[in-house]
Structure 1
Amino acid sequence: MDVLQDEILKKFGEHVKNLRLKSGLTQDDVVLNSSKITKATISDIENGKRNFAFTTLIDLAKGLNVPPKDLLDINFD
């Protein structure tokens, strides 16, 4: 991965983790709510280590109990 992509993934991961914590959810809660996402995937996303498919974004939103648009409400400047 290139440096810009790494930074984007890290920032997105921080955003996902903040949404999860704000909702009072653990990574295990997200797994239970989603049924299609694993704890390892959530961990990798939150740590900026995974670039993933759009369908994973939808599953992640379901697991976090938020609309997908909330995951994309982030400023990458």
Structure 2
Amino acid sequence: MSQPPQAQQRIDELEMRIAFLEDTIDGLNDQVSTLSQEFLLAKQAMQLMHRKLEQLQQNPSAGEAMADEPPPPHY
């Protein structure tokens, strides 16, 4: 039993749309994965800075010792 030409055309259009949507989902998945990795790195950096800030608050003289250093030559 053969399908009417309109039905076959509609099936072809739906298959193309599905292929496009699958490609879009794959691209978005890649972007989410990349952003997730970047977020994790940023979170780790923030945690490190937080620990260093806590250390400076507990021992303010350590921060003063760093401030006494001369500035680098490019300043």
Q: TM-score, normalised by structure 1?
A: 0.35
Q: TM-score, normalised by structure 2?
A: 0.36
Higher relative contact order, chain-length normalized (CA < 8 Å, sep 6+): 1
